[in-house]
Amino acid sequence: MAAKTLLPFRRRDADDFEQRIGPHVDGLYRLAFRFTGNRHDAEDLVQELLTRLYDRRRQLREISDLRPWLARSLYNLYIDTLRSHNRTPFSQLDDDETRLERLPDQGHTDYDDFDRVLMQALNRLSETHRSLILFHDVEGYTLPELSQILAQPVGTLKSRLHRARARLRELLREHDMEPFSARRRVNG
């Protein structure tokens, strides 16, 4: 017969975990959706993260600013998932213009034509550039927050973000889909 476990701390720990993590779950899901591109994988990613975090719930009490810390944890887990999915060597993830196959997109998001082209262009970026744009321009993380999340100096991230945006604009121009350019064509 399995032993019964007497856990005097369990209720308090569980409540504490829920109170600290609960308010961040929606934000983590949003981020996960941006990275994975569909609800199913986003939910799986967040679930796996929470399961791992529950084992470290005492450590969570010592973290004053959870938002960037959790975003970093989620991002690392996503990269691990991507690596195992692609069997990609670790170092290649940091290379610009490395092509990675994303997790399969089974989402049902109602994108308009421009959104669809924009997503395709984002998915053609290197993982480094794509992540920066998703974090900063899509989800609104600040450069100081990203410095914590990605463990890079703000100046480095700023330069990379500029290059990432330039590359995205270039890819959109290939589709003749820069937002204002379409309007200009119509007017011209």
Partner 1 sequence: MHCTEIRNLLDDYLDDLLDPSRRERLQAHLDACTDCREELNRRRDLQHRLRKLPIDGPAPGFAARAVHQARQKHRQRTRGFLTGFGTAAAAGLALWAAVGFWQPAEERQSPHIRAITLEVQAPRDIRLAFNVPEQYEQVRFRLELPPGVNLANRPGQREIVWQDRLEPGRNLLTLPLVAERDTEGELVARIEVQGIEKIFRIPVRAVSRGDGQALFIETRTPV
Q: Quickly tell me which residue has 């395709």 as its tokens.
A: 120
What sign does the dihedral 163-118-97-155 (CA atoms) show? positive
Which CB atom, from 76 or from 142, has the smaller least distance to partner 1? 142
Q: Could you tell me which of 45, 177, 42, 179 has the C-alpha nearest to residue 108?
A: 42
Amino acid at 136: H
We find the least distance from the C-beta atom of residue 83 to partner 1, in angstroms, to be: 23
We find the least distance from the C-beta atom of residue 85 to partner 1, in angstroms, to be: 20
Residues that bind partner 1 (CB under 8 A): 1-9, 13-14, 17-18, 21-22, 25-26, 29-30, 33-34, 38-39, 42-43, 46-47, 50-51, 53-55, 58, 107-111, 114-115, 118-119, 133, 137-138, 140, 158, 161-162, 165, 168-169, 172, 178-181, 184
Amino acid at 150: L
Residue 118 and residue 138: Cα distance in Å, rounded?
12
Which CB atom, from 89 or from 116, has the smaller least distance to partner 1? 116
Half-sphere exposure of 116 (CA within 13 A, CB side): 7
Which CB atom, from 34 or from 150, has the smaller least distance to partner 1? 34
Which CB atom, from 90 or from 180, has the smaller least distance to partner 1? 180
We find the least distance from the C-beta atom of residue 68 to partner 1, in angstroms, to be: 18
Residue 149 and residue 127: Cα distance in Å, rounded?
15
